[in-house]
Amino acid sequence: MNESYCRITNQNPLPLNQFIEETRYLCFYYLSFIYPTSNISEYDSDLFDNEAESIKYMGETINRKWRACSEAAKSCCVNVLSKPVSMNGLYCKPVWDGWSCHQATPAGGVSIFECADHTTTDSCHSILGYGNFECTQDGDWSKLNGSEYADYSKCLEPTLNFKHLMIDVNIICNLISVLFLISGLLVFLSYR
């Protein structure tokens, strides 16, 4: 039986077991960036097997996101990365970028992906946006500073737009309230 190999951005393909361990670490590592005030600092591979300890160490939310990211990586490897590609011409090979799975993409195309809950600290994950990973004309994934780079900048745009709308509505309601307060005070003072 052939062993499955899966690739993480900027790395050579890894056997499934090594891929799983590496992606567990990467998910942990990236979560330490989006939760910089958390107390997670040192990765311990045994934490994944002991959920009670991992919750105690990193908190329930971060633990849930770490496990979701790790399971998404494993699923990506088993269902996408290890499968043969049936695409003609130049294309970017399937890859896990540390957060999301990208299928083979024709050269010059773009892999558009729904932003997963584990990519953000925001709890409004029902309105997350989409990110993209560009495949160059040469059949290589786009790079930033020499490293393959998927663009997650649009992931929070819908959430931020919604929050800005809520702030605007809040300001307008407060202004209307102040206007009614002033008019009420004027009426009250005129009958004094």
Per-domain boundaries in the chain = 5-155, 156-192
> Residue range 11-25: average pLDDT?
91
Distance CA 154, CA 85 (A): 28
CA distance 134 to 124: 27
Give the pair of three-digit tokens for residue 111.
């892999």
pLDDT digits over 70-97, tens only?
A: 999 999 999 988 888 888 899 999 999 9
Q: What is the mean pLDDT of residues 106-128?
A: 76
- pLDDT at position 87, please? 87
Whether 110 has a pLDDT exceeding 60, the answer reads yes
Does 178 have pLDDT greater than 80? yes
Q: How confident is the model at residue 127 (pLDDT cuts 50, 70, 90)?
A: low
Q: Residue 69 in contact with residue 54, Cβ under 8 Å?
A: no
More confident call, 74 vs 2: 74
- CATH code that applies to domain 5-155: 4.10.1240.10
**Beta strand pairing call for 143-144 and 147-148:** antiparallel
The pLDDT-based confidence of 1 (bands split at 50, 70, 90) is very low
- Considering only CA atoms, which of 160, 165, 189, 148 is closest in space to residue 11? 148
